Amino acid sequence: MDECGTTRVWIKFDPAMYELPAGEHQIENLHVYMFNEKEQLVEEWQGGHYNYTADQLCEIPVNLPTGVYSFIAWTNQGKIYKTDISSRLSDSELYLENNKDEIYRTDIPDLHYTTGNNIKVDPIEDHEYILYLIPNTYRINLTVKELPEGNDEDEYLFAITDNNTRYNFNNRIVEDQNLITHQRITKRKEGILQASIRTLTLHDDHAIENIGKPDTGDRSPQLTFRNHTNNTEIFTGNLVQIIRTAYSSADMQVDFDKTYEFNIVLSFDADLNVNISVNGWIYTPNGTEL
């Protein structure tokens, strides 16, 4: 009797691997693209809502001829995440569909990614693969305390501006994209201003092969806080640099591949000088650090 090999591929998302916001990183759908050795798309598969736990596995049906393949998976496509599938894997991209004014006033959906290369389909031998999803979205919680200017009726704006809206199928940011802004408008409550923004990748290179390696790049998403009522800018700075500097002030190094929630507190004195806290690490910036 002839042997008959099978190839089984599972995708897994284990929240315990990361520092995530409670109750977030929901997966409404999972879309898998299968490319052959010539980088040609040969098969697609889409699954519905994915209820993940630490031991949850989602098996991907494999009905491919003998060969070696690359599997690419993205989550939560359809609403504002779209794909440009080229004739070649290396030219295919996923992107965030821009609003007309390029301003996002509510949270974008969570996004996750994984890839598996050299997946073998063999008529004789069995092969099994587990591909681990990594998050591509971060939660930025913003708080302002002790603000000496304005009054309780004034509206205030928090904004994060970035150009990280398009990714190739290695999960690297495609450069030279238009800037988009995530913004929230709020008022004081008991003297405190708060807002929360979900944003896309902060890491310079979020490709699977670079997970865990030091982040040494120069990305510069801009965090801005202003009095929206009188259009006065109060604070602006490089979000990534703010996070790095707060951690380094405590001799720590931030790991953007593990930590996906940052609690940032701005505390002002009477002259609008600011102290910054990020996940409990506090520093006082000078002008060059912003």
DSSP assignment, residue 111? -
Is the model's pTM score more than 0.85?
Answer: yes
Are 46 and 74 contacting, i.e. CB atoms less than 8 angstroms apart? no
SS3 32: strand
* Better-scored residue on pLDDT, 30 or 25: 30
How far is it, in rounded angstroms, from Cα 40 to Cα 169? Answer: 13
Of 6, 4, 2, nearest to 119 by C-alpha is 6
Domain 137-285 class in CATH: mainly beta
Mean pLDDT confidence for 177-192: 94
Domain segments of the chain: what residues? 7-76+111-135, 137-285
pLDDT digits (tens, 9 = 90+) for 251-280: 999 999 999 999 999 999 988 999 999 999
* Under 8 Å between Cβ of 137 and 199: yes
Considering the chain, what is the average pLDDT of its residues? 89
Q: How much is the CA Rg of the chain, to the nearest whole Å?
A: 22
Classified as helix, coil or strand, 247 is helix
137-285 has the same fold as 7-76+111-135: yes
Element (H, E) at 101: none
CA separation for the pair 106, 160 (Å, rounded): 12
pLDDT higher than 80, residue 209: no
Confidence of residue 55 (pLDDT cuts 50, 70, 90): low
β-partners of residue 192 are 189
What the block records as the tokens of 107 is: 């949270």
pLDDT score for 2: 43
3-class DSSP state of 269:
coil
Distance CA 24, CA 15 (A): 10
**Cα–Cα nearest to 136, from 161, 106, 89, 168:** 168
At 89, phi and psi to the nearest 5? -55, -45
CATH topology of domain 7-76+111-135: Immunoglobulin-like (2.60.40)
Give the amino acid at 15. P
Task: Write the pLDDT tens digit of every residue in 84-116.
Answer: 998 899 999 999 998 889 999 999 999 999 999
CA 189, distance to chain mean position in Å, is 29
